[in-house]
Amino acid sequence: MGRIPLNYLANRFFTLFLTVFIAATLIWIIPRLSPINPVDVMLGRMAAGGGSVENSGAILDQLTESFGLNDPWYVQYWLYVTNTLSFDFGISTASFPTPVASMIGAALPWTIGLMLISLIITFIIGNLLGALMVWEHTPRLWKAVIPAAMVFTSIPPILSGLLLMYLFSSQLGWFPLTGAYGLNVEPGWSWGFVTSVLHHGFLPAMSIVVVTFGFWALGMRGLMITVQGEDYTVLAKAKGLRKRYILYKYMIRNAILPQITAFALKIGMLVAGQVLVERIFAYPGMGKLLYDAILDQDFPVIQGVSFVIILMTAVSVFLVDLIYPLIDPRIRHGG
């Protein structure tokens, strides 16, 4: 692999920063195109329980001042950028005065855990099935079953979640319906808590796996078709190497690189797909937090969650770009 050239690393860091900066700017602009005033939403929520709000005009002015809405747009933008880059996303309007950063900090570990488990499982299973669809030594039964299983990829994640809930929770009682861990389990680094989290997270993860493995399988199938006709594959067969060795070392390894790129890009898309899954399972992750924020018109939370998702995707692409030479020695940084 060798040492990473400093100019290459600087270019990648600049691209990462520029991507995050542009995304943060768009996140600031888009909510301001809406005619909804978050302060009016807060007053409406306060009045929902008890009719009118006394001194509503004074409260409106105070909240408007505290949120900085009286400042010129460039002052608001500058404060937003500086605060966002330091992970200060302001105060939630729906859960006032809870900081948005603390809400994201509580939800982020659950989303990362669910996302990584489901993404790794779908990546491994999908690419393996895609390779077996093309490999000439795959049993005929498998070649018939794998394409038939692709039917599940056309189902939205929320429907697969409901189906799994009905089968494995309501009918069989193998897994709990909702929640991230048992009510009688104390959170902490204990075996009981870990097993409870895995037990509760199995169905949400599987509802994502069932509908997304086909993306990897079809992509790997197309890449394997091109690889199996390459000269190095034909030469490996002529040498009499073991079939499974050729499949892994010569075919899958050379076809997997574009899939690694898609793995990083899929992170942001997967979090977006987890929104409804986390909602129906009452899973306390970023998806449920974003869903509730949209319903409550909580713009600071929407902006904070969107920024974190974009940041996770950009950092993933950055890291994958750096480890490419470990996967394929033919690639060199800056080459």
Average pLDDT score over the chain:
77
Cα of first residue to Cα of last residue in the chain, in angstroms, is 12
State yes or no: pLDDT of 46 exceeds 70.
no
d(CA 250, CA 266): 25
Report pLDDT for 51: 47
pLDDT digits (tens, 9 = 90+) for 163-222: 888 888 888 888 888 877 777 777 777 787 888 888 888 888 888 888 777 777 877 887
d(CA 203, CA 207): 6
**Residue 37 φ then ψ, to 5°:** -95, 120
318's CB contacts (< 8 A; 6+ apart) are 12, 13, 15, 16
pLDDT digits (tens, 9 = 90+) for 221-266: 878 888 777 777 888 888 888 888 878 777 887 777 777 777 766 7
State yes or no: pLDDT of 334 exceeds 60.
no
State yes or no: pLDDT of 311 exceeds 80.
yes
Q: Within 13 A of 316's CA, how many CA atoms are on the CB side?
A: 18
Contact present, 148 and 263 (Cβ < 8 Å): no
pLDDT digits (tens, 9 = 90+) for 49-86: 554 545 555 555 565 655 566 667 777 788 888 888 88
Hunting for tokens 């105060």 — which residue is that?
91
Tell whether the torsion through CA atoms of 281, 284, 290 and 294 is positive or negative. Answer: positive
d(CA 328, CA 261): 13
Domains and CATH numbers, the chain: 108-327 (1.10.3720.10)
Least confident of 93-107, 177-191, 303-317: 177-191
Report pLDDT for 196: 84
Tell whether the torsion through CA atoms of 65, 68, 72 and 73 is positive or negative. Answer: negative
d(CA 75, CA 278): 36
233's CB contacts (< 8 A; 6+ apart) are 227, 246, 250, 251
**Residue 141: helix, strand or coil by DSSP?**
helix
Residue-by-residue DSSP string for 26-65: HHHHHHHTSS--HHHHHHHHHHHTTSS-TTHHHHHHHHHH
Of the candidates 326, 320, 318, 325, which has an alpha carbon nearest to the alpha carbon of residue 334? 325
Report pLDDT for 181: 77
